[in-house]
Amino acid sequence: MRVLGIESSCDETAAAVVENGDRLLSTMLASSAAIHAQYGGVVPEVAAREHTMAILPVVKGVLAQAHLAMQDIDAVAVTEGPGLLGALLVGVTFGKALALGLNIPIVGVHHLEAHLYANALVEPLRFPALGLLVSGGHTTLVLWEDHGQLKVLGETRDDAAGEAFDKGARALGLCYPGGPEIERLASSVPQTALSLPVAHLGSQTLDFSFSGVKTATVELARREPHRKAEIAKALQIAVVTALARNVGRALDQYPAHDLYLAGGVTANQCLRERMQQIALEKGVAVHFPPRQYCTDNAAMVASLGYYKLIKGVRLPYNASPRVNYPLGT
C-alpha cells in the first residue's frame, strides 16, 4: 500500500510517499523557518499562509520524485493535530479534497505518535517499548505496547525541553530555532563550572518541568554575559539530566526491552550519548531516527497512517483539525 503523508502542523510543509509503513519512496519539505526566525518564533498566521502556497508544489514534487502519478497513491495520511489551527487546516483540507477526488481512503494521525514512527523507517518496531518524545512544544514519556496502544507515563507540567533551548538561545543572542544553536555553542567548550537547576517533582512522578531552568538561564545570561558557551553547556546538561533521570526510572518500573526516541531534540548528540549510556546500564536497546527525520516530516505521518489504515481507521470528511489532541486518545 502506497500512502501519501502530509504534514502541516507548524512551520514546515511536508509530503512523503511510504510503502507498507516502512519503505520510503520519496520525501520533500518546504520550511518557513527562515521567515519566522526574524520574529524569534513561529507566527501562526504567517505559517498558514506559507502552507497554502507550498502544499500543492510539495505534493506534486514528492510524487515526481517517486516517479508516481496521483492515481498511483492508495491512501492519504494527514496530521490531524495537535498543532496550529490555521496550519493544520491547510493540510487536512487539502488531504480530504485529494482523497475525495481520487476516491481513496484518508486517515488522520496524531503528530506526536507519528514522530515515534520515524523509527519504523529504519528497522522493524518491537513491543512493548518505552518512547520519549522531545520536541519544541512537547516532552512526553510513554509506554508503547503496540500499534495504536500508547500510555502516557509522564509529560511536562509547564514548558517543553525544546522551549527551554529556544528561550536560552534567545537570551544568549542566538538564532531560532534554538536547539541546534545551543548544541553548537555548548560543544565549543569542554566543560563548565556553571550549573543550572534540574526540577525535582518527587519520586512518585515521571513528569517533567523546564520552566525553572528556562528562567534561570535568562538570569545567568544577564549576570555572566561573557560566558555564553558555558551557559549553553550548562543548559544542555540540565535538560539532558532531567530527561535521563525519568527515562531511567521508567525503565525500572515498566517491562520494556526497547527505548525509542523521537522529536527534534532527539537530534542532540549529548542526549543521544546519555540515552545510550542508560540503555547499556538497564540492558535495553535504544533507537534513534536519522537526524533528518527527528524534526517534522511527512514520512513519519505516512508510516503511522499505514498501520491505522490496515486496522480500518478512517478520517471522516466532516472532521476538523484537533488543536488540543491528548496523546493516547
CB neighbours of 171 closer than 8 A, spacing ≥ 6? 217, 218, 221, 222
298/282 same-domain check: no
CATH number for position 158: 3.30.420.40
Name the domain count of the chain. Answer: 2
**Pick from 122, 127, 166: nearest CA to 262:** 122
Cell of 4: 501519501
Residue 15 has pLDDT above 80, yes or no: yes
Residues 199-218 have pLDDT tens digits of: 988 888 999 999 999 999 99
Q: Is residue 80, in this structure, part of any structural domain at all?
A: yes
12/31 same-domain check: yes
72/198 same-domain check: no
Q: Is residue 201, in this structure, part of any structural domain at all?
A: yes
pLDDT recorded at residue 291: 92
Residue 283 has pLDDT above 70, yes or no: yes
Q: What are the E-state strand segments in 23-94? A: 23-31, 75-81
Helices (H) and strands (E) in the chain, counts: 10, 10
DSSP string, 238-295: HHHHHHHHHHHHHHHHS--SEEEEESGGGG-HHHHHHHHHHHHHHT-EEE---GGGTS
Local confidence band at 36 (pLDDT 50, 70, 90 cut-offs): low
Q: What angle do CA 118, 120, 122 make, to 5 degrees?
A: 90
Residues 45-66 have pLDDT tens digits of: 888 898 999 999 999 999 999 9
Mean pLDDT of 66-70: 97
247/174 same-domain check: yes
Q: Is residue 83, in this structure, part of any structural domain at all?
A: yes
- Please, are residues 141 and 111 in contact by the beta-carbon 8 Å criterion? no
Q: Is residue 266, in this structure, part of any structural domain at all?
A: yes
Supply the mean pLDDT for the chain.
Answer: 94
**Pick from 119, 44, 172: nearest CA to 285:** 119
Lowest mean pLDDT among 17-31, 37-51, 129-143, 156-170: 37-51
**Pick from 132, 135, 157: nearest CA to 143:** 132
Q: What is the pTM of this model?
A: 0.93
226/141 same-domain check: yes
**Pick from 223, 326, 299: nearest CA to 5:** 299
Residue 34 has pLDDT above 70, yes or no: no
Q: Is residue 301, in this structure, part of any structural domain at all?
A: yes
Phi, psi for 129 (deg, rounded to 5): -145, 165
pLDDT recorded at residue 218: 96
Residues 241-250 have pLDDT tens digits of: 999 999 999 9
Q: Is residue 322, in this structure, part of any structural domain at all?
A: no
Mean pLDDT of 60-73: 97
147/239 same-domain check: yes
297/254 same-domain check: no
Q: Is residue 191, in this structure, part of any structural domain at all?
A: yes
pLDDT recorded at residue 200: 87
109/136 same-domain check: no
97/144 same-domain check: no
- Please, are residues 126 and 258 in contact by the beta-carbon 8 Å criterion? yes
Residues 158-177 have pLDDT tens digits of: 999 999 999 999 999 998 88
pLDDT recorded at residue 115: 96
Give me the domain span that covers residue 25.
2-117+293-309
User: 81 — alpha (psi -120 to 50), left (phi > 0) or beta?
Assistant: left
96/10 same-domain check: yes
Mean pLDDT of 275-292: 96
Residue 81 has pLDDT above 90, yes or no: yes
85/221 same-domain check: no
Residue type, 195: S
271/238 same-domain check: yes
- The residue among 327 and 80 whose pLDDT is bigger is 80
Q: Is residue 248, in this structure, part of any structural domain at all?
A: yes
